[in-house]
Structure 1
Amino acid sequence: MTLSKTPSQITVRPVTSEQYEKIKRTVYDIINVAFKSDDSWTTDRAFVSIDRIPTAGEAEFDARCKEPNVLLCAFDEQDQIVGVIHIQVQGSEALLNCLGVSPSHQSRGVGSLLIRESVKHIQANMPTIKEAVVHVFVARPELTTWYVRMGFKDVGEVIPFPYGDILIVDEAPLVILRYDVRKSL
């Protein structure tokens, strides 16, 4: 994978299993802060009662970070992790999930860089994948708009939130957005 840098010298690269073991606590923290912080524009605090990766769910997330799935991390100039995205293979689709950027680096292009690099990684390394997919809370139209600007299509697919027991609202449906990885981003 070609290492990509933004003007602020952010580098995105896949993390090996050995590297992951050393950085997983930082990965959990980045994801949880991105989804729970009042400073984060991607917060889901209004919908979900627990961290995105609670302590009880760490082993499950760790298992999902193994091949054929991939974890990409964004590193700053000091080689500190400032963003992450998980690519989870599901048949001919790749679910892009747990996109998290440190609030101190949000609105600087790190999230869009992670999306672009995910698509490039899929195109270069996962020939059986036809679409990248993201799930977004219907009640967060600003996130849907952001993904649409990135080239994802809203084709009207909506699914229920799969973990209803952690919702703090009656329901929180998710819209499925799709990106054809056979084209350029």
Structure 2
Amino acid sequence: MTARQALGGQQATEVTLRAAAADDIPELLELIHAAYRGEGGWTTEAHLVDGRRTDADEVRAMLADPQVTLLVAESGGELAGCCYTRCEPMGVDGAGRAELGLFAVHPAVQSRGYGGRLLEAQVELLRGIGAQVLQIQVLQGRPELQDWYRRHGFTPVGRAVPFAGDPEWLKVAGLGMDVMERHLR
């Protein structure tokens, strides 16, 4: 079942959740840059990281990858948010895992519940295919983000990984990513 079929154009108050499409890429890039590197939103990393969060080629590759579900939240005909999950091979512990990433809500509409709706839509899709653990890597130095993820069922696993982007972009040398997980069963 595709994300579009599972969601069926699901609407919640002011937002429609749907699978991203190739013609969304330019607007997705603007949304992601505004949320991660822009000013005004509580999710910005501009004080910690320079550079673009993603590019058109990376988003195209996500759309072409059968293991990835890239959802968008649309409001008033414009993209308000997005996030992807990538299903991973079965772990040594026998658990089906997925990675959550590229999670962004436009600063102009943050704190309206779009992020929670996107997250829960991904969780339902993952449960439907038998995934048991959802994992995310959260940039260190962002306790407010970790608190948001905790409120949404994630717990730190006590492990950090290196920053996934170009280390030259870091404004704080040595900054890494804290790993958090949410059990889906």
| TM-score in terms of structure 2 length | 0.85
* 2:118 paired with 1:140: no
Aligned to 1:107: 111
Aligned to 2:122: 118
Matched pairs, number: 171
Aligned to 1:89: 87
Give the whole-Å Cα distance in 2 for the aligned partners of 1:145 and 1:103. Answer: 18
Give the whole-Å Cα distance in 1 for the aligned partners of 2:112 and 2:88. Answer: 30
1:72-117 deviation digits (Å, cap 9, x = unpaired):
01011x3321111111222232111111111111011111111111
Aligned residue for 1:162, secondary structure, equals coil
Give the whole-Å Cα distance in 1 for the aligned partners of 2:63 and 2:171. Answer: 28
Give the whole-Å Cα distance in 2 for the aligned partners of 1:71 and 1:36. Answer: 20
* 2:146 paired with 1:166: no
Give the whole-Å Cα distance in 2 for the aligned partners of 1:109 and 1:137. Answer: 22
Aligned to 1:14: 19
RMSD of aligned Cα (Å): 1.5
| TM-score in terms of structure 1 length | 0.85
- CA shift at 1:156, angstroms? 1.2
Overall identity of the aligned pairs, in %: 25
Please list every run of 5 or more consecutive structure 2 residues that lacks an aligned counterpart in the other structure.
1-5, 90-95
Give the whole-Å Cα distance in 2 for the aligned partners of 1:162 and 1:52. Answer: 10
Aligned to 2:93: none
